[in-house]
Amino acid sequence: MVAPDNRTVYIAGQVAFDSTGQLVGGADFKAQAQRVYENLRRALTSVGGSLDDVVKTTTFITDVKNLSTLREVRAQVSRSGRPPANTLVVVSSLARPELMIELEAIAVLSQSVRFAQ
């Protein structure tokens, strides 16, 4: 969702599905987390943005034991020295029982989104 200012982008529901709707990573939290960030990157690219444009994330995980792995994956994809603000929420489950992580993000693009006419 692109806000009326054509620069603020809201992305929700990023989970570890590939383009065919298949789960990536199975019971491997790290693989799921990597796919979630890849999906976020793709969503941002579709509006002319990048992970560097993310200013806020909310991360939902189903088990706090995966926090160190989440931090590792997030450090690999976050802009160096300036990670976005993040809220972490531990939940009992997500929309499907095999999902271990879900991410939503707010990004502010440096240039307005240009929509095709």
Interatomic CA distance for residues 30 and 39, integer angstroms: 14
For residue 59, give the nearest of 69, 70, 50, 68 by alpha carbon. 70
The mean per-residue pLDDT over the stretch 48-63 comes to 95
Number of C-alpha atoms within 13 angstroms, CB side, residue 18? 7
pLDDT at 115: 63
The mean per-residue pLDDT over the stretch 24-47 comes to 96
Q: Does domain 8-108 have CATH number 3.30.1330.40?
A: yes
pLDDT at 111: 83
In this prediction the pTM is: 0.92
Interatomic CA distance for residues 31 and 83, integer angstroms: 21
Interatomic CA distance for residues 51 and 60, integer angstroms: 18
Does 79 have pLDDT greater than 90? no
